[in-house]
């Protein structure tokens, strides 16, 4: 069995978690970006679609949801940057009366403002909540019992609840489901309504159905909680009214198809995407690996390519594989299906290779220790 | 009834590192035996069964040399002294 490598992480270090189809990795660097060190693989042989860093109240806790094609998905935590992991066997599970079984944990989301609360977005599409720091979990029945749920349809990745944006200061709670759309709760997750008016469903005869949109990712800036950016299965959108209406912001991008989307940690008009050619050819256009950034909330987008391969790079970045950290200027990071990880120390202006030769990357999460 | 349960490497951390477990229990079926196994090693249950209590798709359980999926599933009968093996099926990429 492969031996996991470990690294020492000091306060102030940059910590990058990378989930792949065959295990999880951790990369650390000093804030200067002098050198990235690799730890892992953790959970070798397991697909790790969900990773999280819980830094609330001075914690340095990692969460991971490895998944075995034999033994299913499970939830683990580490308080020593991956040297040891503690499993919570069967903690996230469907009860008998639901008739459902957990297939995959797609997202682990610590709730801002409540250090004991966490959420898991899973497949089949559902939301689980823990109020005791992850010891016990319960299905959030308000979403599970929503009358739309039986009609949600799985996309190619399965029927997944892949994005979880818990309330900020008692504000709205958003989740995104492929294919279901964006759902919003104003009572902490008790009841839910759609929040995707204006988002098209290109693959349905009715392009604006009540629900069924294939939303690939939504991203929210903490200083403007009513503003969300959305990368759709065809379509780029922004809302400034908490999802009541969405505007098309695909202005000057080579394609509005893609998966990943992230916001700048300090500038609410700045967001990042990696356009892909089409749903039929899920590679970056022209074999040129370019991140696109808007600095005016989607009125225009600029290609960022310094340090990224611009010839023969038929890469794909998946929905949870693009992230920013909390630095200023921001660190921006993404991983590819070909196992490369790139990072930018300067808001995306220049890029460097952090890793090459990993298994296919499905998840990237960044934080400052 | 007393049987022997054999576990594969990936499950050993959840069974105190034991690949072979003698198991005495009340009952006569694979289901009865597995319930006794979960009592002893609770973490194993969610590896072998899904949330609805069904054998996972890519996990096989054999009674001696015969897969229970070819028999009566978890209701397959057991005889005293049987060997119950949990074996991962061909899967993955």
Q: What is the pLDDT of residues B53-76, one digit of tens each?
A: 999 999 999 999 999 999 999 999
The pLDDT, as a whole number, for residue A90 is: 83
Cα three-residue angle A44-A159-A197, rounded to 5 degrees: 130
Q: What is the token pair recorded at A282?
A: 């899920």
Q: What is the pTM of this model?
A: 0.96
- Tell me what ipTM this predicted complex has: 0.91
pLDDT in tens, A41-97: 999 999 999 999 999 998 999 999 999 999 999 999 999 999 999 998 889 999 999
User: Smallest Cβ distance to A100: which of B45, B46, B51?
Assistant: B51
- N- to C-terminal Cα separation, chain A: 29
pLDDT in tens, B7-55: 999 999 999 999 999 999 999 999 999 999 999 999 999 999 999 999 9
> Quick check: A70 and B50 CB within 8 A?
no
Instruction: State the CB neighbour count (10 A cutoff) for residue A302.
Output: 16
Q: Does A2 touch chain B (CB under 8 A)?
A: no
Helix (H, G, I), strand (E, B) or coil at A142: helix
Q: Name the residue with tokens 């996991």.
A: A4
The pLDDT, as a whole number, for residue A357 is: 97
> Quick check: A70 and B52 CB within 8 A?
no
How many residues appear in chain B? 93
pLDDT of B92 strictly over 80: no
- Residue numbers in B near A93 (CB within 8 A): 46, 51
Q: Does B77 touch chain A (CB under 8 A)?
A: no
Closest residue of chain B to A88, computed from CA coordinates? B43
pLDDT of B93 strictly over 70: no
For residue A204, CA distances in Å to A81, A152, A183 come to: 45, 13, 19
Q: Does A97 touch chain B (CB under 8 A)?
A: no
> Quick check: B56 and A89 CB within 8 A?
no
Q: Does B12 touch chain A (CB under 8 A)?
A: no
Burial class (CB in 10 A: 0-12, 13-18, 19+), A55: middle
- Residue numbers in A near B48 (CB within 8 A): 71
Q: Does A95 touch chain B (CB under 8 A)?
A: yes
- Residue numbers in A near B14 (CB within 8 A): 89
Give A182's DSSP letter: E
Optimal mutation site among A43, A70, A137, interface B, most CBs of chain B within 10 A? A70
**CA A364/CA A262 separation, integer angstroms:** 11
pLDDT of B91 strictly over 90: no
Helix (H, G, I), strand (E, B) or coil at A68: strand
How much of chain B, in percent, has pLDDT values that exceed 70?
Answer: 97
User: Which contacts qualify for A207-214: CB closer than 8 Å, 24 or more apart?
Assistant: A210/A148, A211/A148, A211/A151, A211/A152, A211/A180, A211/A181, A212/A151, A212/A152, A212/A153, A212/A179, A212/A180, A212/A181, A213/A179, A213/A180, A213/A181, A213/A182, A214/A155, A214/A178, A214/A179
The pLDDT, as a whole number, for residue A262 is: 98
Give A256's DSSP letter: S
Closest residue of chain B to A71, computed from CA coordinates? B47
pLDDT in tens, A316-344: 999 999 999 999 999 999 999 999 999 99
pLDDT below 50 — which residues of chain A? Answer: none
Q: Does B82 touch chain A (CB under 8 A)?
A: no
Cα three-residue angle A10-A15-A16, rounded to 5 degrees: 160
**CA A172/CA A87 separation, integer angstroms:** 31
Q: Does B51 touch chain A (CB under 8 A)?
A: yes
A26's enclosing H/E stretch is: strand A23-29
Closest residue of chain A to B54, computed from CA coordinates? A101
Q: Does A100 touch chain B (CB under 8 A)?
A: yes
Optimal mutation site among A71, A74, A99, interface B, most CBs of chain B within 10 A? A71
Closest residue of chain A to B43, computed from CA coordinates? A89
> Quick check: B52 and A101 CB within 8 A?
yes
């Amino acid at each position: 069995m492969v031996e996991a490598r470990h690294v020492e992480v000091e306060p102030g270090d940059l910590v990058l978690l990378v989930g792949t189809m065959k295990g999880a990795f951790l990369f650390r660097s000093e804030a200067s970006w002098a050198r990235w060190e690799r730890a892992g693989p953790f959970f070798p042989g397991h697909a790790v679609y969900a990773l999280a860093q819980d830094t609330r109240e001075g914690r340095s806790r990692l969460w991971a949801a490895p998944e075995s094609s034999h033994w299913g998905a499970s939830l683990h935590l580490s308080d020593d940057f991956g040297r040891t992991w503690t499993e919570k066997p069967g903690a996230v599970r469907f009860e008998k009366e639901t008739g459902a079984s957990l297939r995959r944990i797609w997202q682990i989301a610590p709730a801002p403002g409540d250090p004991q609360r966490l959420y898991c977005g899973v497949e089949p599409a559902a939301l689980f909540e823990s109020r005791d720091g992850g010891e016990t979990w319960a299905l959030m029945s308000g979403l599970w019992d929503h009358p739309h749920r039986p009609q949600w349809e799985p996309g190619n990745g399965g029927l997944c609840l892949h994005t979880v944006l818990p309330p900020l200061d008692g504000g709205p709670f958003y989740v995104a489901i492929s294919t279901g759309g964006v759902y919003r709760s104003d009572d902490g997750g008790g009841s839910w309504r759609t929040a995707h008016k204006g988002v098209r469903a290109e693959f349905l005869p009715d392009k604006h159905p009540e629900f069924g949109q294939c939303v690939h990712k939504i991203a929210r800036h903490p200083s403007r909680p009513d503003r969300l950016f959305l990368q759709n299965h065809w379509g780029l959108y922004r809302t400034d009214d908490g999802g009541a209406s969405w505007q098309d912001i695909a202005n000057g991008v080579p394609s509005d198809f893609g998966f990943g989307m992230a916001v700048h940690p300090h500038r609410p008009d700045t967001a990042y995407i990696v356009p892909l050619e089409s749903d039929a050819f899920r590679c970056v256009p022209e074999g040129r690996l370019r991140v696109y950034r808007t600095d005016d909330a989607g009125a225009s987008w600029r290609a960022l390519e310094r340090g990224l391969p611009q010839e023969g790079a038929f890469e794909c970045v998946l929905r949870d594989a693009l992230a920013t950290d909390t630095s200023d200027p921001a660190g921006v990071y993404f991983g590819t299906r070909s196992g490369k990880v790139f990072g930018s120390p300067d808001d995306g202006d220049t890029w460097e290779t952090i890793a090459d030769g990993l298994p296919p990357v499905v998840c990237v999460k960044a934080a400052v220790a | 009834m007393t049987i022997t349960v054999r576990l594969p490497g990936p499950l050993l951390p959840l069974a105190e590192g034991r690949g072979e477990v003698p198991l005495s229990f009340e009952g006569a079926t694979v289901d009865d035996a597995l319930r006794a196994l979960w009592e002893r090693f609770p973490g194993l249950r969610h590896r072998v069964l899904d949330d609805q209590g069904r054998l996972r798709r890519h996990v096989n359980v054999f009674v001696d040399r015969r897969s229970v999926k070819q028999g009566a599933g978890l209701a397959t009968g057991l005889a005293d002294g049987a060997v119950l093996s949990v074996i991962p099926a061909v899967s993955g990429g």
